[in-house]
Each structure stands twice: as C-alpha cells, then as structure tokens.
Chain A
Amino acid sequence: MSTSSIQFDRRSFLKVTATTGGGMMLGLSWAASAAEISEAPFMEAMTFNAFVKISPEGVITIMSPNPECGQNIKTAMPMLVAEELDCDWSKVVVEQAGLDSTKYTRQVAGGSGSTPASWKPLRTAGATARQMLISAAAKRWNVSASECSTSNGVVLHTASGKKATYGELATDAAKMEVPKDVPLKAVKDFKIIGQSHKAVDNKKIFTGKQEFGLDFKREGMLIGVVARPPAFGMKIKSVNDSRTKSMPGIKQVIRFGNKVAVLGSSTWEVLKGRERLAIEWEVDTKLESSADHDAKMTELLGKSLEKPQRKDGDALAQFEGAHKVIESKFEAPFLPHAPMEPMNFFADVREDKAELIGPTQNPGSARNAAAQVLGIAPEKVSVMMTRMGGGFGRRLNADFAAEAAEVSKLAKAPVKLMWTREDDMTGGIYRPACHYLYRAALDAQGNVKAIHVRGAGLNVGNPLRENNFPAGAIEHFLAEGHNQQSNITTGPWRAPVHNFLAFAEQSFLDEIAEATGKDPVQLRLDWLAKAEKSPVGNVPYKIDRFRNTIELAAKKANWGKAPAGVFQGFSAYFSFNTYVAQVVEVTLEAGQPKIKRMVCAVDCGVVINPEHAINQIEGGLVDGLGHAMFSNMTFKDGVPDQTNYDSYRVIKMGDTPPVEVYFVENELDPTGLGEPALPPLSAAVGNAIFKATGIRLRKQPFSLNGLRNV
C-alpha cells in the first residue's frame, strides 16, 4: 500500500482532523467544523500498538481492522479500545485498517464473530497503551506509576496535583516498555461501552463523501464489465467482439475462461460495449429448473440417511406405536443476497505484486484467491477494504476480487470491475434452496414422544443444526440431512442454514403446541425445564439464558394478553451464541393479515453500542420479514427468472412495521448480532398469521400463498 492514494488521503485526513481536535468526525458539531480546516503543520502520531496512535496535539487515532458492511463495527471496535485507554471519545479519529495478518487476527465480517473475537484483544490494546502513558508520566514526574490515574485522556497524580494530556505524553509513552498482563476494567466501570455513540462515518455518508468500492478511482484505471454465461451450465462457443472493439470508448476486450471482459474509460461505454458483443453460448452441463429442484428435494425427503446427524433414543419405533403423528413439510427458495452495492473490485496487478481495493467481508480470502489466480505468493497481494454497501454473506466469497485481479493481469492495467445489478443477481452464489419434513409422535395424553426432522437442500452442506432446541428435551430425536449437488452456486447468506431452518423448526413447534393444546411459550419453557432436569444428549444452549430471553419477549409483548383483533405469534432461536425471542402481532384488514408490530428480546451479553445493536437487530427482523414475505429466486433451464429489483421483490418502507428491541441485561462476554435476529422472525410471522387466519404458511415466500397484504 506504500504508493497508494489512500495512504495519502489518510495522512491528509489526519492532518485535517488533528487541527480540529477530531471534533469534526465525531462531535455533534460536525457541520460547523469543516470550515475550520487549516494547513497547520502536521506532527507525526506516535504508534503504541496495532490499534492506537496518539499525536502530540492529542488526536487519538484508533484503527478498526474489520470490514464494515453496515454492522457498525467501525464504531464498536474503537469503542472497546477507547474504553480501556480511558480517553475522550469525541477526540478519537477512527481509521480503517487494511488487511494485515501480521498485526491483526480475524479480519472478517462474518459468523457474527467480529465482536466476540475482539472483545478481549482490543480492550487489552487500549489498556496497554494507557499503562504506557501512565508509566511515561510517572517517569517524568518521578513518582510511582501506582499513584497515577487517568481520566478522559489525561494522566493525573493526585498527591502533587500534576497532570498531563495523552498528547503531551505521547512521544515519551510510545517508547516505554510494553507491559504484559494489563488488567481490564470491570463491566460496572465502563464509561464508553454500554453508551450509544453515533456511527463514525455518518457525516461522510450524509454528505456523499463516503467512499464505497464502486466510488474508488485511480488515475489511469480502466472500468470494466464482464459478460458471464446467461445460464448455470452454459459455456462460450464463440465470441465476435468486432462491434464492441470499434466503439471509441472501448479500450480492450478480453476473453478469459467462460467470460468476456469489456474495458474502457467510462461505465456507460463499457455497458454499451458489452451489449454489442456477439457471444454464442452452448450447453455444458445439465440446465436445471426450479421444478427439477423441487422434485429432487421431495425425493430426498422420502429417503432415510444411514448416518443421521443426531439420534437420541429410537424415534422411528415411537412413530410406529404413536397415538397420533403430526407431519409438515416446509419449503424455502434460493435467494440472492442483493446488497445495495453490487459486487465490484479494483485491482492493479504488476509483474510480481498486486494491489486490491474494494468491498469484501473477508479480505484474507480475497488475497488468497487473487494470489492463486495470479500465480504469485499471497504476501505479494495487498488488500484494502472500502466500506461496503451491504454484504449479507455475499462478500465473504472472493470470486469477484479474484476476477478483477485476473482481468487486471490480462489487461496489464489497473481495472475497476463492476457488476451491474443484473450481473449481481444472476451471477450465482445464492442462499441454497431447502425443504424440511418435520414429524412428531404423540401419545394418548398429548405428550410428544419423538421428533423427527429430515432436511434436503441444494448445495447446502448440512441442512440441519441438529443440536438445536428442542433436541436435548426430547427423549427420541432423529435428525437427518441430505445435500444435493447442483450447478446453481451457493454460499453463506446471513445466518446460513439457520435462516430457513428456524422457519421450519419454529413453525413446527407452534404446530405441536396447537395439536397438544399448549401455549407456545409455555411449551418451550416446559421443554427447557426438561432439558435442564434430564438433558438428552448434547445440549449446546444455556437453559437459563434461553429462558430469560423467552420470558422477556413474552413480558414486553404482553404475550397472551393481546387486545381483541390482535393475533400474536411466537418464535425463539439460539444461533451464533446469541439468544433471541420474538413476538409478532398481526391484525386483519378486510380479511387479510397485516403485520402490526415486531417485538424482539435478545441476550447477547454486554451490549457495546446500544443504538447500533438495536439498529442491527431491527435490520435483522426487517430483513427476515421481507424475505419471508416476498423474495423468491427461481430458474428455468438454468436461467434465473429474477434479474433486478423489478422482478425480485424486496421489503420497502410501507411493508415495515415498528420494531421493539429489548436486551437481557447481564455482564457476560458479548456475542455477535449481525445474524441471530433474522432466523426466528419468519416463523413468528407465520405463527401469528395462523392465529389470525387459520392458514398455516409452510412455503416461502408467503406471498405465494395468496395473501394479498403479505
């Protein structure tokens, strides 16, 4: 990165913020302070560690190493550092770090893992720097470090009344020995963590200055688009690019593999150029349609598995002698991620090194994939992450970054490759389609003796999370999951597998409650009590946390006490070590269900930045609602039927009911929030609609079920 313009921008940015006390970025008065920018000489900030730099003027720069895709990690991570550093948050400048495996671990936005993985290391980085500042002050004043304290960016020696700001101490402090095993604050002493702080990039976002991947520009770079096979299972037969090459704005046309890149100096020209390519495609492998997929999954749901994912007791025997069996099939379609910013990446590939810049949730895998396609060592590839216009798992994949690298290499030029919305939506790597069959065996008293789940998905891997509740509470439990290969490509999609499994599982629990005359909340509480008293097999969830979360949601939503005409549905789910329980309320308008309110209780341990945590959970519910209601991806002979937001329906403002979020308060280590709020939502919706209409929704999207409002 040594020669990039980003480096330059960062420096001048620091210079600017240094002279305005950082208030421009973080303080409430940002609108006024832009005018105060002056050209005062910039003094080098002192580096304390991979996360903390302090300039003699007192600007505290905190590096945020993880990719930002809207989870607001770029605010949360620095808060962890600042808390232990004990500094003035309004003086903090946050800088996005590039990929650097020598300094940082797990630079990934995925698996709801950024927060839990950084909880200790980032606080330690702050505490360590603080200790060095104290040591420098103690040395300067010739007092014992143990007599010094800190407050809001100042080191104090109470006995003598001496004080010095972090800026004044920075130069000396950065040279102090790095202390080991620095103690961390107790939760009750937190001043920054647990308070809401505004997102650090707000001003740039609201004024159009925030750079996303697609906004990146480098002098001399080419803009490129790629023609890819129109159907899964097709390949290029022939290409005639003469009508494209003759266009004035087109610089290069490059065929690589089964794709053709069109490069030029402006987006519109390359888009037009691509349209003028005459490409003949031919069938390579079988062309699949949604009907084939459905038939395959139906077939697999009829087949047992020799090695089930989980087997407690003997469920099949229980079904044979059961007084009553209830059985339901649930279906969820393929889904594209459709982040607002389509895929894109910049690559500048030289003889034996490459520079990549763009939106990725996993810069490490982008680097490795690029290195592989270029045939150079991964250390020769640098990756700088831009802010992402959403990820939802799509950007955990490295295909688009590696593709940009390949095209830059072939073009011998820096290239920004962009995907149109159509490219993005039809280009593959979807949430897998998956079907489930749930069965429960009841005895004459209405007790559930056995549960049997069988899943079948396309390129889904294991379609089950077989240790999910109510496993652990059911004596005879059988879980079998089939995976079917398909040439429709799939990948992680916000809360992989959970996002459709929870729909089936939590809807079926509601069906059990209905069939046995139990209250759905009480049924879950009873089973948790059972799993606590006499656990069956592996129980990965914590009973008390799950119970508290369920009870909090029920209490806040006034479960069971809804006014006449309001119908409630319940759902509760544990994923990514976070506990979530939800109540959705539905009314009927002209006989059609209308979602009125969504209430969500969460136990994610300590909440770092409450407002952003709430935002993330709200987003999870809205996302869950939209996809359950409207979103569908289907195929005809390998060609996706949905290509853009006109044919692929996403949730809009008018579809969005109010969301209420409540946290279970405790002092446990934080867990992630990017994913866990989404999975249970669709079942809560379906369960509420059942209460309102008597119609049990088992197939997503719900709009297929002939309900007008949904």
Chain B
Amino acid sequence: MAEFTLKVNGTKYKVEAAADTPLLWILRDHLGLTGSKYGCGIGQCGACTVHVNGESMRSCALPVSAVGKAQVITIEGLSKTGEHPVQQAWHEVDVPQCGYCQAGQIMSAAALLKKNPTPSDADINSAMSGNICRCGTYNRIREAIHVAAKKVKS
C-alpha cells in the first residue's frame, strides 16, 4: 500500500492503494467516479477510456503509480453539465442502445477531435477501433463524430 496524490477533473485526491492498482479501480472504487466503465480489464474494449494529459488512455491498463502528476479527465469532467460538442452530438444523433460503452466512446471521440477537428470516415474508424460497442451503434457513433466536428468548427 502506498499513498498517491492524483489530479482528476481538476480536483486533487489522496488515495491509499497498492501501486499496481489500475487507475480505473481507483476512479470507481476510491473516488466514486463510476462513469468510466469496466469492460475487459486488458485494454481491449475502450469502456474505461479517460484523458491523461489530453491523450486518450485505457484506465484499466494504467497503474495508479504511473499517473504521477498528470491531469486526468474522466467523462464526469469532460464538461460541466454535458455541453461538450461531442456530448451534444451524441444526443442529437441519439446514439446509445444500452449506453454502457458510450462514456468510453465519447472520451475517445473527444480526444480524436482535439487532434483532428475534421476527421474522415477512415480517420474515425481507425481512432475508434479500440472502442467496442457490443450493441452495434457504430454507424451512429461515426455520424455523431461528424456532427460534433461541425459544432467544433462553428
């Protein structure tokens, strides 16, 4: 057990945990931030995606000891009340079925648009290839990313 100081969604937290504890379980069990989801635990599904210093990362595969002073943003901190263009676009396109994967999808999409504000279908397919949606909402996700891109532009 060791103590770690984390900066999540702009707030500083002190947590006591084993050094190999994945960030995902710190967020969910220790900080009560359950928006990041567990889907596979091995970096294969993207349900746990968060931003670490602006980069999209799989929090299930990131030990808390490796986070250091990095700024972590989770779905809860992506915007204050859901006004991020990606969140708005997701609503406009009415993307979800079960919704379980969508926090991770939104985080991946937001990171993509930051790097590439006008992604093509191929760009989207490749950037989102690590996010599984078992319900099969992929076409809607792709469309919503285009909608969000337009919002970002205007």
Q: A and B: partners?
A: yes
User: In the complex the two chains form, what is the Cα distance from A388 to B17 in whole Å?
Assistant: 29
A618 and B137: CB pair below 8 A? Answer: yes
Q: Is the CB–CB distance between B91 and A203 below 8 Å?
A: yes
Cα(A420)–Cα(B60), bound, Å: 12
Distance in Å: Cβ of B101 to nearest Cβ of chain A:
5
Q: Tell me whether A248 is interfacial, beta carbon within 8 Å.
A: yes
What's the Cα separation between A646 and B91 when bound, in Å? 31
A387:B29 contact, CB within 8 angstroms? no
B1 nearest CB neighbor, chain A only: A248
Tally of chain A residues near chain B (CB < 8 A): 71
A205 touches B99 (CB 8 A): yes
> How far, in angstroms, from A203 to B95 measured CA to CA in the complex?
11
Question: Does A212 have its Cβ within 8 Å of any Cβ on chain B?
Answer: yes
Task: Give the chain A neighbours of B102 by CB distance below 8 A.
Answer: 205-206
Q: Is the CB of B82 within 8 A of A389?
A: no
| CB nearest to A28 among chain B residues | B91
Q: Give chain B nearest CB distance to A495 CB in angstroms.
A: 14
A389-B99 contact, Cβ under 8 Å, with A196-B94, A615-B94 = yes
CA distance A653 to B75 in the complex (A): 21
Contact A654 B134 (CB under 8 A): no
Q: What 1/0 mask marks residues of chain A from 595 to 631 whose CB sits below 8 Å from any chain B CB? A: 0000000000000000110011011111100100000
Q: Is B106 an interface residue (CB 8 A)?
A: yes
Q: Which residue from chain B places its CB closest to the CB of A34 in the assembled complex?
A: B81
CB atoms of A611 and B40 under 8 A apart = no
Interface centre among A203, A272, A391, A615 (most CB of B within 10 A): A615
In the complex, whether A590 has a CB less than 8 A from a CB of chain B is no
Binds B, one of A278-286, A339-347, A482-490, A556-564: A339-347
- In the assembled complex, how far is the CB of residue B20 from the closest CB belonging to chain A, in whole angstroms? 8
Q: Are B37's CB and A389's CB within 8 A?
A: yes
Query: Which residues of chain A have C-beta atoms less than 8 A from B96's C-beta?
Result: 70, 199, 202, 205
Chain B residues with CB under 8 A of A19: none
B38 with A207: CB separation less than 8 A: no
Q: Determine whether the beta carbon of A214 is less than 8 Å from that of B37.
A: yes
Stretch from A123-131, A171-179, A262-270, A294-302 that touches the partner: A262-270
Contact between B91 and A421 (Cβ–Cβ < 8 Å)? no
Binding site for B on A (CB under 8 A): 28, 30-32, 34-35, 68-72, 196, 198-199, 201-203, 205-212, 214-215, 217, 223, 248, 266-269, 272, 338-342, 387-392, 418, 420-421, 611-612, 615-616, 618-623, 626, 644-646, 650-654, 656, 658-659
Q: A206-B90, A652-B129 are in contact. List 19 more A-B contacts (CB 8 A).
A: A30-B91, A32-B83, A69-B98, A70-B98, A199-B94, A205-B96, A206-B82, A208-B34, A266-B30, A267-B28, A268-B22, A340-B45, A342-B39, A611-B94, A615-B97, A626-B136, A644-B42, A653-B124, A653-B138
